[in-house]
A and B are shown apart, each in its own frame.
Chain A
């Protein structure tokens, strides 16, 4: 009997230690946030969270997921969902609606909607309920150029689409470099940068209503509107001599490759259309200049609208959603969704931050480039949110792959578009 007792005690002790060792569900005053932004933007975000957390007795931890759209799925399926997730793709966010809290139970919706730029509250809505709202905005319709290189070659910033085409042709003829830098390589997400180009022109040629029908699947890819937009993109990117190395090079070049923009030899490129986040991809020396408000090498203008089309601005943003309605989560959501976010030190660390709130004081944008970008955002006549990011995840991913196939010359435009249209059947 003594032996049996000893054995039972031993087993009980073992079970006890197991439970004690494994970490329990995290404490109530801790909030975890997963998101996609890294480097300076992440540092700035964490800085503000720390300040807010210290004042409210909450520990807030932001973690960057390497590939947000895939990683969050694993996290959720593995039962490791954070308290708050921040999606760059509202369409992807809505896939998770059944495990998310509708925001009306989490935050004071009307107060937030009142300060948001109109339309930004309609991005992640399912069954009449809002599941995600923006914590930051970014503008995609930006053409970056190098003023020093422009001055040396005697080029002027184009104001209209016709001027832009003329400049492109002139650069090509002069042979001092290539007109455009285009790169769409992005590991498993290769191709997303090409979707932006397409969206720019669908938005402009079609206007907001048709644009929205398109990403909802009501207008096909293989339709006159989208084909026209694709032709315009092809005119810029795939015309021989416009981009160093052509379509194959575009598919092999990382979207964040900015070095040729700042080069001075004949391999340089003069213009690069990319979102406001690209400043984080500048070479270190340029980054330092830019942070010090030195604009010798960095300039930006809005991508011009073709004659007769709607003047539009394409943008994106990170949308926060809540996996629970704990008191601490509610508090943090209330803060990051308000126009207060960004006012407590973000811009000093990350000067490209853009708020999606119209009430965000523009005087805080100390960087003139950021300020003018904020101006494009608030003054846009037609604003389009990144359409592929609004589409269901499988359509989005198919669009990435198929546009890559087209740009690299593996498929014709019609074949690629048919494949994307077909992916709607799998939703």
Chain B
């Protein structure tokens, strides 16, 4: 490191960029703590012009949570997101194990085919999947559409290509000798997977989990179609609030921050895994 030259100009340029990057979000955060009457007539930067003239308040958060129903949506978002994160991890880990350590005909072809699916847009599956749920209901009496579970399945399926790719890349770094040794000791694949490979793969699992969690948490389309308004998720409720600025921006701003709080918390507390996950997925 010491050999590297450092340039003060570079630091300044970067700081300016970071400042610009942060500014909009910062403005929204400020707005959410302002009183309606003030937020309506002055921009958020007014807090710098008149720092002692501000009526800070949490009213907007209270309104967003209780009057606009964001509190209930918060729970729904978790109910959709947690299984839609854990289940694909499990599916992908299993499949990656199969693709890495088991030999069977058509393995490479199947693997490439799955990766190729990465670019099929969700829109292409939406309508037929809806129909599928309906005919499933007709034949079995089990209504999946409108339940959290419907979103879990769809999210799981669309997470597969990337998840399997990442997991397999990681598992390929596990020495084959280790697996062979376990086999010689008489361990079945089921046992090797749960006792040996899965624990070793925790870093890759963690990285992907963060990724998937954020993706599902921020998703609108799948939740809108498959879960809908019986258990509206945050993005759904928030989108219906957009445009309601008659009483000022503070309530919508507060709502946005409530939905942002979880991703930001995860991002700042698990940043290391996050970056590692990204790097594992795309750089090879």
Contact = CB atoms under 8 A, between A and B. Distances in A.
Interface of A: 18-19, 22-25, 63, 65-67, 71, 74-75, 77-80, 185-187, 254, 256-259, 281, 283-284
Interface string B140-168: 01111111010000000000000000000
Contact of B229 (A22, A66, A187, A257): A66
Nearest to B150: A78
Interface in B1-53: 40
A79 B133 contact: yes
Given A74-B225, A259-B40, 20 more contacts: A22-B144, A22-B147, A23-B147, A24-B141, A65-B229, A66-B239, A67-B240, A71-B228, A74-B224, A78-B133, A78-B146, A79-B134, A79-B137, A79-B145, A79-B146, A80-B145, A80-B230, A254-B243, A256-B244, A259-B246
Nearest to A285: B37
B57 to A, nearest CB: 14
B142 A78 contact: no
B240 A66 contact: yes
Nearest to A257: B246
A80 B134 CA distance: 9
A78 B228 contact: yes
Most buried by A among B40, B127, B226, B246: B246
17 contacts: A22-B143, A22-B149, A63-B229, A63-B230, A66-B237, A74-B228, A75-B228, A78-B134, A79-B130, A79-B133, A79-B137, A80-B230, A185-B243, A256-B246, A257-B245, A259-B40, A283-B246
B242 interface: yes
A288 B192 CA distance: 69
B143 A23 contact: yes
B248 to A, nearest CB: 9
A283 B245 CA distance: 11
B213 interface: no
A258 B133 CA distance: 44
B138 to A, nearest CB: 9
A14 to B, nearest CB: 13
| B interface bracket (residues with beta carbon within 8 Å of A) | 20 to 34
Given A71-B229, A79-B133, A284 B247 contact: yes
B61 interface: no
Nearest to B149: A22
Contacts of A254: 243-246
Interface in B117-145: 127, 130, 133-134, 137, 141-145
A258 B248 CA distance: 12
A24 B141 CA distance: 8
Contact of B142 (A19, A75, A185, A256): A19
A342 B141 CA distance: 38
Instruction: Say whether chain B's binding surface is mostly helix, strand, loop, or mixed.
Output: loop
In the A-B complex, the 10 residue pairs with the closest CB atoms:
A66-B240, A80-B146, A79-B134, A78-B145, A187-B243, A22-B142, A256-B246, A79-B145, A78-B130, A257-B246
B64 to A, nearest CB: 15
A24 B144 CA distance: 10
Contacts of B226: 78
Interface in B223-267: 224-226, 228-230, 232, 236-237, 239-240, 242-247
A75 B243 CA distance: 23
Nearest to B232: A66
Nearest to A79: B134
Contacts of A283: 246-247
B143 A66 contact: no
Contacts of B146: 78-80
Nearest to A77: B130
A282 to B, nearest CB: 9
A34 B200 CA distance: 50
Most buried by B among A22, A77, A78, A283: A78
A297 to B, nearest CB: 16
A83 B229 CA distance: 15
Nearest to B245: A254
Contacts of B144: 22
Nearest to B237: A66
Contacts of A281: 246
A349 to B, nearest CB: 15
A258 B244 CA distance: 12
B224 to A, nearest CB: 7
Contacts of A79: 130, 133-134, 137, 143, 145-146
Contacts of B224: 74
Contacts of A74: 224-225, 228
A18 B147 CA distance: 13
Contacts of A65: 229
Contacts of A22: 142-144, 147, 149
Contacts of A259: 40, 246
A258 B228 contact: no
A398 to B, nearest CB: 21
Contacts of B228: 71, 74-75, 78, 80
A67 B243 CA distance: 13
